Structure 1
Amino acid sequence: MPEPSGSTLMLALDLAGTFAFGLSGALAGVRARLDLYGVVVLAAVVGLAGGITRDILLGALPPATFSDWRYLATVVCAALLTFFAHPTLERFSRPVAVFDAAGLSLFCVTGATKALDFQVGAVQAVLLGVITATGGGMLRDVLVREIPTVLRNELYAVPALVGASIVVAASKLGHDPGVASVAAAATCFLIRLASLRFGIELPTAPTDRDKPPDR
């Protein structure tokens, strides 16, 4: 089985993304008034679903989540931290969105990188980066009965698409993978936060409700 490029760096980014998404899922669980078990489950779903989907599509079996205990330990730590310290975390502005943006930026990098290690094409690697980054957040929203963020008009998949594309382009051009990974993650993170701060959205199809009233 292929080893990830710069395996130590990729593992660190993967675990950091798992932790960030775990915090995002756990905070959503606390806000939905779930019990401790529910908070842990939601943190695990958000933190692990994207990576599991990626590994299954690549044929990397068993998925890293089940072959490396650190992934499960990371999401459990994120869930427990959130459950007992959520008043402190809630003091930050829009904590779920920030943690979600961090997970999004890290997972689009690790997803695309692992796909390249398995010798898939450039387009497929970008798509797997996006799937890795958005899969957990989509399940989180479904479980708390919200329309998934990735399906709404705000920028969510687009930042992941940009980040994954940077990773793939840098690999094809022979640039340093470590520098490319940091640049891609930072770009994705900044685009996501800028879209939230300035209300940048994708266009939606016009409906009858958008028409001016008849006079």
Structure 2
Amino acid sequence: MTRARCGIIGFAVCLAAIIVAAPVLGHTETGGAGGFSSGFLHPVLGPDHVIAMIAVGLWGVFLGAPAIWVLPIVFPLIMALGGAFGMIEVPLPAVETGIALSAVVLGICVALALKPPLWAAALIVGIFAVFHGYAHGTEMPVASDAVSYALGFVVATGLLHLCGIAFGGLAKWPVGRIAVRTAGVLIAFAGGAFLTGMA
């Protein structure tokens, strides 16, 4: 089996795992109502979150090691902090705009295969992670256990990053590189659509 097929299969497996896990977690009867399952489903069911999370993984692939692992670690950690701010209702303006812009900016970074220094890439990812986490935190169901809910959205985010990394593996070949950069263009356009939809 070629590496290109392995990348496509890996991406498909990641997406299938997320899709299959959603209904399974939706029917768990352990923990508080809206705990881990609600936290897990929140980013997975939000297309604006999904495309940005996948873009982080795709961009990490273009940046190579160590960014391929640093970015998907930085994002969930900072996102959890943003989630805590959302849960305790610390004011943060333009959250939805920040989320939409994350898709635009990260999509452009992938489309252009930009390679800034690691610290700059981590800073960009970290800034946008605050907005995503804040949205998750403010939308936590009232009956939720905050820790379980946060763990849910962090795990789901990590899986979406892995989907991006799996698909980004195609960038090792010229045709795959075009496919990955095209995905970046589509992500940026989708983010733009979210932005214009808010106007």
Place the TM-score, normalised by the shorter chain, in its bin: 0.3 to 0.5
Greater CA radius of gyration, 1 or 2? 1
Structure with the bigger RCO (C-alpha within 8 Å, sep 6+) is 2
